[in-house]
Amino acid sequence: MDEETLRERFHTAKPLLKMTSINAYISKIKCINKELGSDNPLDLGVLLETDLIEEFLSNKKMNTQKTYLGCIISILTIFYPTETALLTYYRNQLEEYQRAVNERTEKQIKTESQEKNWTSIAELKKVIDTYKKTIDEHRLLDKATAGGLTRSEFMLYQKYVVGMLYVGDIHNNPALRLDYAPMKIVRGQSNYKEGTHGNSLIILNPNEMFFELVNYKTESTYGLKQIYLGDILLQVINDWLKVNTSSSLLINARGGQMKSNDLSKFIVKVFAP
């Protein structure tokens, strides 16, 4: 099988998958097979051999391991969707790497520059805390559930949500540049088809959600990304869905879906109340 045939197989299996993502996946497959000494640089079957993949990943940096595991999971989902045990194995590996990265981040000795950054984040969190205090004092969540918020109340709540997206849980959910807008909300497994919704918040259930990135700055290198929400953002988003009942994660001042340029301006307002 040549490279063009493999591209066609990807396209046939996932017609809406962008060519940049397909090329990124093929590049990762070629790197794996080359390093493992395979005669076939496009052999997808190597992904079924967990011992070989462990060997390949063993000398890679942790962030590189995470990137490869994410691509492997996506490729297996496309070509080997019935290999549920194998997919679970790789997903567990990815979660372990994420925990290890978080632990290392928490334990590392910060440089002077890092200390300044962490101080800045602490100051930003104080701004977010003021939004949360106002939300709680005025019982905005209860008000939204009972009958709805005024436009100003809605926007104040959205400021809190945006702030939490960026600095609420930097270990488990680092900020995604401006990729939160435009972002659709896809509710339920039955409505979800991988890679077909654009940048989206995928809600499988209240305890399992992930951001799926199809269009982002380094997409040509890393392909489709799925970033699961940690416990902190899960709570924030579950509450936000009671306030925002639209099909978009964030709403602009005109009541429509927020775009990236809207978000860049909104962020300034969030952290300079």
Structure tokens at 243: 């306030």
pLDDT at 272 over 90: no
- Cα gap 151→254, rounded to integer Å: 10
pLDDT at 94 over 60: yes
Q: What pTM does this model have? A: 0.62
Q: Which residue intervals of 173-227 are DSSP H helices? A: 219-222
Quickly count: other Cβ atoms within 10 Å of residue 58's Cβ.
8
19: left (phi over 0), alpha (psi -120 to 50) or beta: alpha
Average pLDDT over residues 5-32: 89
Q: Which residues partner with 200 through β-bridges?
A: 184, 212
144: Cβ contacts below 8 Å, ≥ 6 apart: 154, 157, 242, 243
State CA 102 to chain mean position distance. Answer: 16
Task: Give 157 or 13, the one with higher predicted confidence.
Answer: 157
Q: Do 47 and 72 touch, CB atoms closer than 8 A?
A: yes
Average pLDDT over residues 1-13: 87
pLDDT on residue 46: 94
Q: Model confidence over 46-64: pLDDT tens digits? A: 999 999 999 999 888 888 8
pLDDT on residue 109: 43
Relative orientation angle of helices 62-79 and 50-57, to the nearest 10 degrees: 150
